[in-house]
């Protein structure tokens, strides 16, 4: 939303702040809805398996008769998850009106060698179950043009956040424990009220100190002119400087890692290397000056 603010040539900071929190809310919704999608993919797989087991149409392909995916332990844990079910019940969202997209996603998954190998396992472990779910999110869902198009139609906020949300889902599911059953934890929108205040401060201070931070960044660009650098990279650098100089409660290493990772999701292919290089020089100068 800092990016959006400057794209509008310095619009209403209060209105943009409202949009920022709406964007965070929409991203949090997508986090849950993409977990729900996994359950609907499994339901579709069950229906397809039933058809293939029909005595008149019975498939001769052993992989097509495998029950590994429909019995996937991780998917069952997601299906039973208390936090997910509470959120979905409160928000009344469903993928049932998009059966064509669900079918397309499952067919894309079915075409992969990874899925075939998984189906042919005699007794898949919990790690095997986790790996195929991770593969679905990281490779199939991320690269589905049909699904990306659907997200654009459903919300202006969702399409740009897909890879970021998927990375958070994978991180959450990697921590799932069979022993916890329905009580495995999902991410919270905010850890506490301090998180909300931190977000507001970061947003406002980045905007208010734009000119100051632009001058600092320009000094470290060497042969580059500020106008030639991707604007999103500049915004990420300015946000990082806000944390480094004006939000000292955040450890320097945390800030560096955070903005390098954000650039991988939201900017160009080489942005993470560029941002890492500039921030490293700024931090080194600060250390030499005792800041």
Residue 62 scores a pLDDT above 80: no
Q: CATH number of the domain at 249, please.
A: 1.10.940.10
Q: Is residue 198 in some structural domain?
A: yes
Residue 237 scores a pLDDT above 90: yes
Taking alpha carbons only, the member of 108, 109, 102 closest to residue 72 is 109
Q: Is residue 128 in some structural domain?
A: yes
Tens digits of per-residue pLDDT, 122-139? Answer: 999 999 999 999 999 999
Residue 290 scores a pLDDT above 70: no
91 and 24 housed in the same domain: yes
pLDDT range class, residue 84, cuts 50, 70, 90: very high
Q: Is residue 60 in some structural domain?
A: yes
The residue among 183, 210, 235 that closes a domain is 183
146 and 229 housed in the same domain: no
Q: Is residue 247 in some structural domain?
A: yes
User: From CA 236, how far away is CA 275, in angstroms rounded?
Assistant: 8
pTM of the entire predicted model: 0.85
pLDDT range class, residue 57, cuts 50, 70, 90: low
Which residue blocks in 54-157 are alpha helix, DSSP H? 73-80, 82-91, 99-110, 113-119, 126-135, 145-154
The residue among 149, 183, 217 that closes a domain is 183
227 and 168 housed in the same domain: no
What's the gap between Cα 255 and its chain centre?
A: 19
The SS3 assignment for 81 reads coil
Q: Is residue 260 in some structural domain?
A: yes
Secondary structure (H, E, C), 207-230:
HHCHHHHHHHHHHCCCCCCHHHCC
Tens digits of per-residue pLDDT, 24-51? Answer: 999 999 999 999 999 999 999 999 998 8
Q: Is residue 188 in some structural domain?
A: no
**Region for 285 from its dihedrals, namely left if φ exceeds 0, alpha if ψ lies in -120 to 50, beta otherwise:** alpha
- Mean pLDDT to the nearest integer, 152-165: 87
User: From CA 21, how far away is CA 133, in angstroms rounded?
Assistant: 30
202 and 260 housed in the same domain: yes
Count: domains in the chain: 2
153 and 241 housed in the same domain: no
Residue 291 scores a pLDDT above 60: no
179 and 214 housed in the same domain: no
Residue 75 scores a pLDDT above 50: yes
198 and 128 housed in the same domain: no
Residue 239 scores a pLDDT above 60: yes
Query: Between residues 225 and 278, which one has the greater pLDDT?
Result: 278
Residue 108 scores a pLDDT above 90: yes
Domain span at residue 50? 2-183
Which region among 53-62, 124-133, 196-205 has the lowest average model confidence (pLDDT)? 53-62
What pLDDT shows up at residue 218? 87
The residue among 157, 183, 209 that closes a domain is 183
52 and 169 housed in the same domain: yes
What pLDDT shows up at residue 1? 46
65 and 172 housed in the same domain: yes
User: From CA 72, how far away is CA 38, in angstroms rounded?
Assistant: 11
């Amino acid at each position: 939303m800092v990016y959006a603010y400057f794209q509008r040539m310095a619009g209403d900071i209060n209105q943009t702040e409202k949009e920022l929190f709406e964007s965070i809310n929409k991203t949090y919704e997508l986090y849950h809805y993409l977990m729900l999608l996994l359950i609907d993919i499994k339901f579709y797989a069950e229906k397809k398996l039933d058809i293939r087991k029909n005595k008149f149409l019975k498939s001769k392909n052993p992989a097509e008769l495998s029950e590994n995916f429909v019995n996937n332990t991780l998917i069952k844990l997601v299906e039973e998850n208390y936090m997910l079910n509470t959120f979905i019940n409160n928000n009344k969202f469903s993928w049932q009106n998009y059966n064509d997209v669900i079918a397309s996603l499952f067919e894309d998954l079915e075409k992969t060698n990874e899925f075939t190998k998984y189906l042919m396992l005699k007794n898949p472990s919990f790690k095997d179950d986790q790996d195929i779910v991770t593969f679905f999110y990281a490779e199939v869902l991320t690269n589905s043009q049909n699904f990306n198009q659907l997200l654009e139609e459903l919300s202006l906020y969702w399409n740009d956040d897909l890879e970021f949300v998927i990375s958070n889902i994978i991180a959450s599911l990697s921590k799932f424990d069979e022993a916890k059953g329905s009580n495995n934890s999902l991410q919270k929108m905010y850890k506490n009220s301090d998180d909300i205040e931190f977000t507001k401060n970061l947003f406002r201070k980045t905007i208010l100190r734009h000119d100051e931070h632009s001058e600092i960044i320009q000094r470290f660009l060497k042969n580059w002119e500020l106008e030639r650098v991707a604007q999103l990279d500049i915004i990420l650098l300015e946000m990082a400087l806000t944390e480094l100089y004006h939000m000292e409660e955040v450890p320097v290493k945390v800030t560096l890692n955070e903005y390098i990772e954000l650039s991988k999701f939201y900017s160009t292919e080489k942005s993470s290397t560029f941002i890492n290089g500039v921030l490293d020089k700024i931090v080194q100068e600060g250390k030499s000056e005792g800041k």
